[in-house]
Amino acid sequence: MSENIESESESTFQLLDTISAFRESKFASFIVITESILSGGTDLLLTLAPLYLVSEGIPIQYLGLVLAVQRLADLTGAFVAPRIKISYKKFSLLIILYRASFILVFVIPIPLIKLLLFGLSFIIIGISGNMFEKMIYSEYNYENMGLIYSTNSSLYALFSIVFLIVPQFYSDIHILGITINIFTVLVGFYLLFINNPFKESKGIENEPESYAE
C-alpha cells in the first residue's frame, strides 16, 4: 500500500516538474502547443492531399512529384535553416503567417496553383522544423531537454491522433483545410499584435552563437 502511495507521489512530482520546466519559457511553450495543434491538422491535410488533388483535377502523374518534394523538404530545411539570419522568434511569426496563406490552396480554383502551393508548403514545413529545434535549445535549460522533448512528442502524438480521427465524422477535405488554415491565421494575428517579436530591441534574445551564425 505504502509503495503504491510513494509511486503515485513520484508520478505527481514528475508531472509537476515537467509542467514547470515546460512553462519556463512562455513564448516557447505557446509555440510548442500551437505547433502541435497545427502539425496535427497538417498531418491530416497531407494524408488526404493526394485524394484532394485528384478530386480537384490534378493529373495523377503529378502526385509523384508532390510526394517527392515532400520527402525532400526536411533535407532542404536542413540546408536552408542555418543560413537564415533572422531570430527564431521573428521566423516563427513569419512562418505561421506564411502558412496561413495556404488557405489559398482551398480557395483558388486553378489546379496548377494548388499544386505549387502544396509543394511550397512542404519546403516551409521542412525549414520550420529546423528553426523549431533552434528555439527549443535557445529557450530551455539543457538539463530539461528530456522533459521538453517528451512533452513535445506527447502533444504532437495527441493532436495527430485527434485530427486523424476527424474524417470518421466529417470528410469534406475542402472545409477541413479552410478551417485549419483560419485557425493558423488567428494564431498568426495573436503573435503579431499580442506577442510581436519585431517590437523587441536587438540583443534581447539569448540565442546560442553557434545557431545564430
pLDDT (tens digit, 9 = 90+) per residue, 176-204? 888 887 887 777 777 667 665 556 544 44
Span 2-212 CATH architecture = Up-down Bundle (1.20)
**Predicted model pTM:** 0.69
Q: Is 127 exposed, middle or buried (0-12, 13-18, 19+ CB in 10 A)?
A: buried
Place of cell 512529384: 65
Whole-number percent of the chain with pLDDT over 90:
0
- Residue 51 corresponds to which cell in the numbers above? 485524394
171 backbone dihedrals φ, ψ, rounded to 5°: -120, 15
Interval 6-60: pLDDT, tens: 454 555 556 666 677 777 777 778 888 887 887 788 778 777 777 777 777 777 7
How high does pLDDT run on average in the chain?
72
Cα 78 from Cα 128, distance rounded (Å): 10
